[in-house]
Amino acid sequence: MSVWERQYRDAAAGLTSPAALDDKILQQAQQLKPPLSENRWLSKAASSCAAVTVLVLLMHPAQYLGALTPGLQPAHGAQNNPLRNWQHKPSQPTPGNDPWFHLRSQVNAGSYIELCNQWRKQQQGSTSEKLPRDLESKARTHCRLLP
Amino acid sequence: MSWKDFQHLDDESLLEYYHATRNPNAFRQLYTRHKDSLYRYCAQMNLACAGAVLEALWNRLLESPPQLHGRRLRSWIFIRANQLLRQYAGQDPDTPDAAPVSDNKLLAAIQQLPTIERNVLLLHMECGLPLATVADIEKTSLKKCREFYNRGKERLEEILHGPQRQPWRIEEVSEVTV
């Protein structure tokens, strides 16, 4: 910057924009509102469409085609039916409804003395109570070895 | 965004932000950056219509901010100011474009320059535009524009400090024969 350019800067520093003009222009800037663009409508339309899409997806019956509804399964899909191989699991024996509960629990615990006594009585015909089939087979297996 | 946040943004980012949000603080920051320089340029080119030119310029920027397409906002502002100054000068030819702006000797000397030299000098020196841009504004070649600038500077020197000193020249004194 040459000397006279510096002198110019110093001289021109006193020349500033009038405050009245500044106020007028800044006031005009304050009055301007943000433009109402089409984006607002666009965003409204977009959000409405998105909401409708979600609703349709949630309510559309196609969504439930894979659901396990046995009554609506087609005939050829029977092999996929989980009810096909359903078996009733026998309820665990309880002391209330099983007269052989005590004996059976002894056998399960590994004690065959009572079972073999009962088995011998049955063999001798001194008792009218007949062992159930499972206990009978266990008695045949184990009681020969017992004295 | 607060006032301090805008200080780190350049002119173009500020204009873009203002264009999107119409935030008056963004405009205030832009205005503050350029107002004095613009006023000095307009007042020294045509004091009578400087206010009207500046009002029209800023109104235009407020209502429809320019799409700069990678160009500098500062260039746009001064190019637009120059166009408006020409328009106003053409509308009212009776208005003298060179009016006393200040009592300062240098500023008064600038007023004595021809319009084109004054314009080139101010656009380059006051507005900080490169001479190539000034040449585009004046619709001349860069070489011609540089000539205007240098001639303007020389003329200013001459106005301020008088004509350049000439080397001593010994004039031959012809003998007068009586």
3-state secondary structure A95-135: CCCCCCHHHHHHHHHCCCHHHHHHHHHHHHCCCCCCCCHHH
Question: CB–CB of A22/B35 below 8 Å?
Answer: yes
Range of the domain at A125: 101-142
**Angle (nearest 5°) at CA B73 between B71 and B77:** 120
Of the listed ranges A61-75, A80-94, B40-54, B114-128, the least confidently predicted one is: A61-75
pLDDT at B41: 92
Please check the confidence at residue B9 and state whether its pLDDT lies above 70. Answer: yes
pLDDT of residue A51: 93
- Nearest chain A CA: its distance from B26 CA (Å): 10
Residue A134 domain flag: yes
Q: How far apart are CA B28 and CA B6, in angstroms?
A: 10
In a domain, A35, yes or no: no
Interface test with A, best of B6, B34, B39, B42 (most A CBs within 10 A): B39
CA–CA separation, A92 and A105 (whole Å): 12
Per-residue pLDDT for A49 more than 60?
Answer: yes
Interchain contact B61–A (C-beta under 8 A)? no
Number of folded domains that form chain A: 1
State how far residue A49 is from chain B, nearest Cα, in angstroms: 26
Q: Domain boundary at B51, B81, B98, which?
A: B98
Is ipTM strictly over 0.90? Answer: no
pLDDT beyond 70 at B83? yes
Q: What is the mean pLDDT of residues B86-95?
A: 69
B104 → chain A, closest CA residue:
A11
**B82 & B106 share domain:** no
B6 versus B45: the higher-pLDDT residue is: B45
Question: Over chain B, what is the mean pLDDT?
Answer: 83
| A34 neighbourhood in chain B, CB within 8 Å | 21-22
pLDDT at A147 over 60: no
CA atoms of A99 and A131, how far apart (whole Å): 10
Best A4, A17, A21, A39 member to test B by mutation, with max B CBs in 10 Å, is: A17
Residues of chain B in contact with residue A25, where contact means CB-CB under 8 angstroms, are: 31, 54-55, 58-59, 62
Please identify which residue in the block is written with the tokens 């208005």.
Answer: B95
Looking at the structure, do residues B32 and B89 belong to the same domain, yes or no? Answer: yes
Of B77, B98, B119, which residue sits at a domain end?
B98
pLDDT score recorded for residue B156: 86
**Residue B105 shares a structural domain with residue B90:** no
Q: Rounded distance, CA B161 to CA B158, Å?
A: 5
Structure tokens at B45: 């080119």
B20 and B89, same domain (yes or no):
yes
Residue A123 inside a domain? The answer is yes
| Position B173 in a domain | no
Q: Do B24 and A35 touch (CB under 8 A)?
A: no
**Report for A37-46, B28-37, B91-100: range of highest mean pLDDT:** B28-37
| Closest alpha carbon to B44 in B92, B107, B89 | B107
Secondary structure string (H, E, C) spanning A32-85: CCCCCCCHHHHHHHHHHHHHHHHHHHHHCHHHHCCCCCHHHCCHHHHHHCCCCC
Q: Is B175 part of any domain? A: no
Residue B175 has pLDDT above 70, yes or no: no
Domain region containing B115: 100-164
A12, A21, A34 ranked by CB distance to B54: nearest: A21
Which residue type is seen at A15?
A: L
CA pair distance B112, B64, nearest whole angstrom: 37
Same domain for B14 and B69, yes or no, is yes
**Comparing C-alpha atoms, which of A1, A15, A57, A139 is closest to residue B36?**
A15
pTM of the predicted model as reported, rounded to 2 decimal places: 0.58
- Whether A138 is covered by a domain: the verdict is yes
Q: What is the pLDDT of residue A52?
A: 93
- The answer on B124 and B90 residing in a single domain is no
Half-sphere exposure for A52 (CA within 13 Å, toward CB) = 6
What is the C-alpha to C-alpha distance for residues B86 and A145, in angstroms, rounded to an integer?
A: 129
Single-letter amino acid code for the residue at A116: C
Q: Is A17 on the interface with B (CB under 8 A)?
A: yes
Residue A37 has pLDDT above 90, yes or no: no
- Say yes or no for a CB contact (<8 Å) between B106 and A4: yes
* The domain boundary residue, chosen from B74, B98, B122: B98
